[in-house]
Structure 1
């Protein structure tokens, strides 16, 4: 019975492959790139548990166990870095996430389609800018001497604000730039989901006297709820991966206690100080936390809403 079942499954797999071989061929480049650049480098994770010497083969280093992890936990920066990373990532996402859904709903339900297309394009374009350009624009507004905001404050007789020199302004600046740069791009996924809403259901609701707000709350949002949950789960996989280049460009000696995050710490330890094993250990620790969060949220979502990615 088992052999018969195995043979029937093999025949189905072979038949499915032969009938869709063109699609599998198209997938080969993506599979190859993922394997070469994502899976093969995992072999190098062993340096997190080894001693590394500049110019020597890191594979020949001595095993030191969890010494690099203990060193990170005992460092004076551990609590500061974790607090900053969690704060920047979670607060930024909690603000950006609902705005993305709201923007998609506003564009989809706009009466004037030209205005809707313009809004979609206008909010999408900042995503094409690099972090260097975004922080450059931020500097034009917030520079202590030549920033537009401080120029206006001086005209009004008020004291200028040192935006890049205050710890309490790192989070607002990071969140606002994230919102401006990524909200339009992220809304595309929800717009695509909204376009699949059954028009007949919306027309029936309008005949029954439902206004746009009720249609959004009772039909459109529940319709795209599986997409919302799926995007939330996927984001959990890199929740603590704060935009390193953006934070690094915002960082100064005056605000470092609020802007030093895991990414900048790993960059300084690994690239600037050549402590490759230590930097790998810190990065591996954060990725393990991201993995646990992904599995946990996926499990909770599957239990509550029957929506999951696996």
Structure 2
């Protein structure tokens, strides 16, 4: 029976194969390197022959003077991401779903999808052009209106605002794809029944549209928690300056400095493993809560 089913759906399994290979090569095979977190890894000895040191690197991580600063910076950016970025694609998808002119809707979709394909180097370059105090467009406008300029790129209190704004501009359009797909599955007859009952646009949104995509929102929220402490190395690294490093240094940039530039491979592996364990705990708790409240969850 199993062989018959495989032969019947062979082309589906062929289409599935590239994804399976990707996850095996780039997700599962690298887990072998986690052993370095419990070793004093020496490149010339390799993982098999490097000396084992137990939890030495984890003890060092938690005893580091800057650990709680790193944790605070990373956690705050992650919370801001959940509060401000995560709802943005939902709101935009709901707004686009209300557009009835297909040509205008497709134009808007094209415009909001495009930034996703722009590299972070270009995004940060655009940001510098707009926000620099020397000749930035926004600061020039502020100077003409108020007579003052704001050092958006230098002052620490503006760092997180700029980071989240960049993420929203770059990724909010791409994030609407899943929600727009979920909205197309909503039965039109439900809207008609709601209109007959006297429900306006807001009532239809609250009692029909949002409940219809609630499961999608919850699943994506759980998956988002899986990368809670992954704030994005490239963007943060490009935006760091000596003046904002106190609020901008996160685990991703810390691992790069310690691992790649200083050669502390085992210590960097321990930091990465700590991030993974936090993500696993958050996903497990969120999934348990989702099932507790009657949702499907991810497993």
Task: Please state which band the TM-score falls in when normalised by the shorter chain.
Answer: over 0.9
Residue aligning to 2:179 = 190
C-alpha distance in 2 between matches for 1:277 and 1:241: 19
Residue aligning to 1:125 = 114
Matched, 1:288 2:277: yes
Q: Would you say the 8 A contact 1:104–1:187 is kept in 2?
A: yes
C-alpha distance in 2 between matches for 1:111 and 1:32: 41
- Superposed counterparts of 1:178-257, under 5 Å: 178-257=167-246
C-alpha distance in 1 between matches for 2:4 and 2:207: 43
1:165 partner SS:
coil
Which is worse superposed, 186-195 or 157-166? 157-166
C-alpha distance in 1 between matches for 2:209 and 2:144: 48
Which is worse superposed, 206-215 or 82-91? 206-215
Q: Would you say the 8 A contact 1:54–1:274 is kept in 2?
A: no
Q: Would you say the 8 A contact 1:99–1:183 is kept in 2?
A: yes
Matched, 1:107 2:59: no
Per the TM alignment, residue 80 of structure 1 is displaced from its structure 2 partner at its CA by 0.5
C-alpha distance in 2 between matches for 1:47 and 1:33: 23
Residue aligning to 1:272 = 261
Residue aligning to 2:9 = 20
1:210 partner SS:
coil
Which runs of 5 or more structure 1 residues have no equivalent in the other structure? 1-10
1:305 partner SS:
coil
Matched, 1:73 2:73: no
Matched, 1:137 2:140: no
Matched, 1:89 2:83: no
Matched, 1:158 2:159: no
TM-score (norm 2): 0.95
Structure number with larger C-alpha Rg? 1
Matched, 1:308 2:297: yes
Residue aligning to 1:5 = none
Per the TM alignment, residue 157 of structure 1 is displaced from its structure 2 partner at its CA by 6.0
In 2 relative to 1, CA 153–25 (structure 1 residues): closer, same or farther, beyond 3 Å? closer
The equivalent position to 2:35 in structure 1, one of 46, 68, 72, is 46
Matched, 1:33 2:22: yes
Per the TM alignment, residue 163 of structure 1 is displaced from its structure 2 partner at its CA by 1.6
In 2 relative to 1, CA 241–207 (structure 1 residues): closer, same or farther, beyond 3 Å? same
C-alpha distance in 1 between matches for 2:17 and 2:101: 43
Per the TM alignment, residue 301 of structure 1 is displaced from its structure 2 partner at its CA by 0.2
C-alpha distance in 2 between matches for 1:100 and 1:29: 28
C-alpha distance in 2 between matches for 1:202 and 1:233: 29
C-alpha distance in 2 between matches for 1:41 and 1:97: 29
C-alpha distance in 2 between matches for 1:220 and 1:245: 36
Residue aligning to 1:262 = 251
CA deviation profile, 1:146-189 (whole Å, cap 9, x unmatched): 21222233334623222222111111001111111111111110
C-alpha distance in 2 between matches for 1:244 and 1:97: 19
CA deviation profile, 1:103-160 (whole Å, cap 9, x unmatched): 1111111133322222222111111111111111110111121212222333346232
Q: What number of residue pairs does the alignment pair up?
A: 299
Per the TM alignment, residue 244 of structure 1 is displaced from its structure 2 partner at its CA by 0.9
